[in-house]
Amino acid sequence: MFLSGGVYAQEAGSADSSGTNLGEMSIEQLMQVKVQGAALHPQTLRDAPASVTIITTEDIRKYGYRTLGEALASVRGFYLTSNRTYETIGVRGFNAPGDYSSHVLVMVNGHNMTDNIFDFELFMGNDFPIDMNLIKQIEIIRGPSSALYGSNGIFATINIVTKTPEEAGPANLPATFDSLGERKGQIMDSVSLGKNAQALFSGSVFNNAGQSPIYFPEFNTPQTNYGEAVNMDTERGYHLFSNLTWKNWTVTAAFAGHDKLQPISWGDTIFNNRGTQNNDVRNYIDAAYTRQLGRGTLAWRTYYDEYHYVGRFEYPDDHANPLNPTVEDNRQISDGKWVGSELSYRLDVRKLGTVTAGVEGKVDLRAAQSNQDVSPVPVQYLYEDRLDRSLAVFVQDEKKLSRDWTLDLGAREDTSSYLRDFFSPRAAVIYQPGSNWTYKLLYGRSFRNPSPFQLFYGDGLSAVANPSLLPEKVDTIEVDVEHKLGKRMNLLTAAYGYWLHDYLEGVPVQDGLIQYQNVGRVHAKGVEVEVNGRPFSWLEATASYALQRTMDDSDGGVLENSPERLAKLRFSVPAGHKLEVSSGMQYMSSVLSLAGATVPQVYLADFTLTSKGLLRNFDFKFGVRNAFNLSDSQPIALNPMVDTMPQPGRSVFLELIPHTAR
Output the DSSP codes for 400-411: E-SSSEEEEEEE
pLDDT band at 17 (very low <50, low <70, confident <90, very high): very low
* Burial class of residue 555 (count of CB atoms within 10 Å of its CB; 0-12, 13-18, 19+): exposed
Residue 31 has pLDDT above 80, yes or no: no
In DSSP notation, 154-175 reads SSEEEEEEEPPTTTS-S-B--E
Residue 27 has pLDDT above 90, yes or no: no
470, 395 contact by CB (below 8 A):
no
CA dihedral 455, 459, 461, 464 (to 10 degrees): 30
Task: State the amino acid at position 323 in one-letter form.
Answer: L
When mean pLDDT is compared across 22-26, 140-144, 197-201, 419-423, the lowest value belongs to 22-26
Q: Residue 10 has what pLDDT?
A: 35
The pLDDT tens digits of the residues spanning 527-563 come to 999 999 999 999 999 999 999 999 988 778 899 999 9
pLDDT band at 32 (very low <50, low <70, confident <90, very high): low
The pLDDT tens digits of the residues spanning 95-105 come to 999 889 999 99
Q: What's phi and psi for 469, nearest 5 deg?
A: -60, 145
* Residues present in the chain in total: 662
SS3 29: helix
Q: Residue 133 has what pLDDT?
A: 93
pLDDT band at 323 (very low <50, low <70, confident <90, very high): low
Three state DSSP letters for 446-502: EEECCCHHHHHCCCCCCEECCCCCCCEEEEEEEEEEEEEECCCEEEEEEEEEEEEEE
Terminal Cα distance for the chain, rounded: 33
Q: What's phi and psi for 162, nearest 5 deg?
A: -85, 160
Handedness of CA 585, 186, 244, 19 (dihedral sign): positive
- The DSSP code for 269 is P
* Burial class of residue 594 (count of CB atoms within 10 Å of its CB; 0-12, 13-18, 19+): middle
Residue 337 has pLDDT above 70, yes or no: yes
Q: 187, 190, 188, 186: which is closest to 166 by C-alpha?
A: 190
77, 142 contact by CB (below 8 A):
yes
276, 269 contact by CB (below 8 A):
yes
Burial readout 108-118 (b: 16 or more C-beta within 10 A, e: otherwise)? bbbbbbbbbbb
Q: Residue 321 has what pLDDT?
A: 63
The pLDDT tens digits of the residues spanning 217-250 come to 999 999 999 999 999 999 999 999 999 999 999 9
Q: Residue 322 has what pLDDT?
A: 61
- What predicted TM-score, i.e. pTM, was given to this entire model? 0.93
Q: Residue 16 has what pLDDT?
A: 38
Q: Residue 324 has what pLDDT?
A: 64
**Percent residues over pLDDT 90 in the chain:** 83
How much is the average pLDDT of 33-42?
84
Is the preceding peptide bond at 563 cis, omega within 30 degrees of 0?
A: no
Q: Residue 2 has what pLDDT?
A: 28
- The DSSP code for 58 is H
Average pLDDT, the chain: 91
CA dihedral 449, 451, 454, 455 (to 10 degrees): 80
Residue 571 has pLDDT above 50, yes or no: yes
Q: Residue 12 has what pLDDT?
A: 36
The pLDDT tens digits of the residues spanning 144-164 come to 999 999 999 999 999 999 999
260, 245 contact by CB (below 8 A):
no
pLDDT band at 21 (very low <50, low <70, confident <90, very high): very low
Residue 343 has pLDDT above 70, yes or no: yes
Q: Residue 23 has what pLDDT?
A: 45
Distance (Å, whole) CA 635 – CA 90:
12
Q: Residue 1 has what pLDDT?
A: 24
How much is the average pLDDT of 114-126?
92
pLDDT band at 87 (very low <50, low <70, confident <90, very high): very high
Residue 315 has pLDDT above 50, yes or no: yes
How much is the average pLDDT of 276-305?
96
The pLDDT tens digits of the residues spanning 441-458 come to 999 999 999 999 999 999
Largest interatomic CA distance in the chain: 84
**Percent residues over pLDDT 70 in the chain:** 94
411, 425 contact by CB (below 8 A):
yes
Distance (Å, whole) CA 438 – CA 539:
25
Q: Residue 512 has what pLDDT?
A: 81
Q: Please, what are the domains in the chain?
A: 2-658 (2.40.170.20)
The pLDDT tens digits of the residues spanning 465-479 come to 999 999 999 999 999
Handedness of CA 499, 504, 505, 507 (dihedral sign): positive
Q: 70, 158, 62: which is closest to 647 by C-alpha?
A: 70
The pLDDT tens digits of the residues spanning 627-639 come to 999 999 999 999 8
- The DSSP code for 640 is T
506, 97 contact by CB (below 8 A):
no
